[in-house]
């Protein structure tokens, strides 16, 4: 970082349009920044039936309801969800440290990715973005982070708002496929709602929204603009009873927490005239150039 800062040049992940957009609101790029963390996923906290410990007395034939990672008491996959939070926050923190080292006030265009690492059960958590600053302004105690594009960032600033930080909402829910669920999904079952699966996606999405709101409050922001709203569902053989299955849903919400910095009107930049739409003026301009 010291070598980059002393070089007098900067890199970025910005397109030309994004660069022009952040310059229009007084910011300039200072360099591309990144953070990474590789985690071994050894203990997920869900090696038993998601119905809970009582399922072993019922032979796994009864669905005890949906369990989500954020609930109190028995919560399947809670260690897994906590690892997802921790690894992402470490990657974001290392990226923010690089931003501070370059003298940046914040980061735009952040992309959070999770990918497999060539080791059993390992995942790589990666955060990359472009550090920006306002020339002549002292450094901030905590640079902001944002997954907004350059154009979105400029629109936000022009309307009197600023990003505070990336907010995360992560939840992992699980439900046991009991006898009722099996009958509702059998090959000759009629067209009808599968109530256990509906409860699974609703409970997991709701828990992820709750975690996102808590993260926004932790950052001290007014609200959040969400860019990522993903839900992935997978199934596995139930550990409690042979021949039964469990469905597992993972909901991920990622957005930029924002706060208002002014309640008054913000000066809008003037449009830049590139080409006149008046044919008479265009002909006159060509005549002047020919005369010269």
Q: What is the pLDDT of residues 8-33, one digit of tens each?
A: 778 888 899 999 999 999 999 999 99
pLDDT, average across residues 41-46: 74
192-242: per-residue pLDDT in tens?
Answer: 889 889 999 999 999 999 999 999 999 999 999 988 899 999 988 887 777
Is the pLDDT at 46 greater than 70? The verdict is no
Is the pLDDT at 51 greater than 80? The verdict is no
Q: Domain segments of the chain: what residues?
A: 2-291
Is the pLDDT at 49 greater than 80? The verdict is no
C-alpha span between 204 and 199 (Å, rounded): 8
Q: What is the DSSP letter of 229?
A: E
Q: What is the helix (H) or strand (E) element at residue 283, kind and residue range?
A: helix 279-291
Distances (CA, A) of 64 to 27, 50, 52, 145, 180: 54, 8, 7, 41, 12
DSSP helix, strand, coil percent of the chain (3-state; round to 5): 35, 30, 35
Q: Which of 151-165, 175-189, 268-282 has the lowest mean pLDDT?
A: 268-282
Is the pLDDT at 270 greater than 70? The verdict is no
Residues 6+ apart with CB under 8 A from 251: 169, 170, 171, 172, 173, 204, 205, 207, 208, 230, 231
Confidence at residue 36, expressed as pLDDT on a 0 to 100 scale: 96
Q: How does strand 106-116 pair with strand 223-237?
A: unpaired
């Amino acid at each position: 970082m010291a070598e980059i800062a002393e070089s007098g040049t900067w890199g970025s992940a910005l397109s030309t349009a994004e660069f022009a957009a952040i310059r229009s609101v007084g910011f300039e790029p200072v360099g591309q920044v990144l953070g990474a963390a590789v985690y071994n996923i050894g203990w997920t906290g869900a090696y038993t039936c998601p119905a809970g410990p009582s399922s072993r007395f019922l032979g796994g034939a009864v669905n005890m309801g949906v369990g989500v990672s954020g609930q109190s008491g028995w919560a399947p996959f809670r260690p897994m969800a906590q690892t997802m939070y921790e690894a992402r926050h470490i990657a974001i923190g290392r990226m923010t440290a690089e931003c501070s080292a370059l003298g940046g006030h914040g980061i735009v265009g952040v992309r959070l990715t999770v990918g497999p690492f060539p080791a059993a059960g390992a995942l790589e958590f990666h955060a990359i973005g472009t550090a920006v600053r306002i020339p002549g302004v002292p450094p901030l105690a905590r640079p902001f982070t944002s997954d907004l594009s350059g154009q979105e960032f400029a629109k936000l600033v022009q309307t009197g708002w600023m990003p505070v930080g990336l907010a995360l909402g992560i939840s992992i829910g699980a439900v046991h496929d009991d006898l009722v669920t099996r009958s509702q999904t059998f090959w000759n079952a009629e067209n009808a709602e599968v109530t256990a699966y509906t409860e699974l996606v609703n409970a997991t999405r709701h828990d992820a929204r709750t975690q996102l709101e808590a993260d926004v409050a932790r950052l001290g922001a007014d609200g959040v603009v969400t860019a990522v709203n993903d839900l992935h569902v997978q199934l596995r053989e139930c550990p409690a009873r042979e021949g039964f299955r469990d469905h597992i849903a993972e909901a991920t919400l990622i957005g930029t927490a924002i706060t208002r910095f002014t309640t008054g009107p913000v000066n809008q930049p003037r449009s830049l005239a590139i080409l006149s739409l008046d044919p008479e003026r265009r002909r006159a301009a060509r005549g002047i150039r020919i005369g010269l």
